[in-house]
Amino acid sequence: MSKLDLFAGIYVSDLDAATTWYARLLGSDEAFRPNDVEAVWELAEHRFLYVELKPEHAGHSHVTVFLEDFEPAVDAISARGIEPAQRETYENGVRKWTYRDPDGNEIGFGGGPTEDPDGTP
C-alpha cells in the first residue's frame, strides 16, 4: 500500500457546538474548514477527524483512536473538563476510554497495557 490518508467522519446536529466540544476534546482548534458544514482536525500526519453538519444522522458515529501516550492524553482531556462516559480494560490489558459528544457520538481513545491492574492511569 502506498501513502495512506485517513478521514474519519462524525455527523453532528450543531456544527458550532460540535466544533467547540471537539476543540476541547482534542486540545486544539480545527485545522481547517473545507466548506460551511465541516470542521477538520489533523490527529497525525495524513490522519484526520472531521465533524459534518448532518442532523438526520447525528449521534450514530463511533470512532476509536489508539494512542502511544494514552495517560497524558486522557489526563489532558480531563483537565479540559471532559470526562469519559466509559472506561474499559480488556483481558490483554489494553485500555479504552470512551467519550460522548453532545449528539451521543462515541469517540474512544485506546492505549496499551498498564501495570496497574484496574486500568487507571
Q: How does residue 4 score in pLDDT terms, banded at 50, 70 and 90?
A: confident
Enter the pTM of the model: 0.88
Given a cut of 60, is residue 117 above it in pLDDT?
Answer: no
Q: How does residue 121 score in pLDDT terms, banded at 50, 70 and 90?
A: very low
**CA atoms of 12 and 52, how far apart (whole Å):** 6
Domains and CATH numbers, the chain: 6-111 (3.10.180.10)
Give alpha helix (H) positions in 9-120: 15-26, 70-79
Q: Walk across the sheet containing 38-44 and list its strands.
A: 6-12, 47-53, 38-44, 32-35
Given a cut of 90, is residue 119 above it in pLDDT?
Answer: no
Given a cut of 80, is residue 37 above it in pLDDT?
Answer: yes
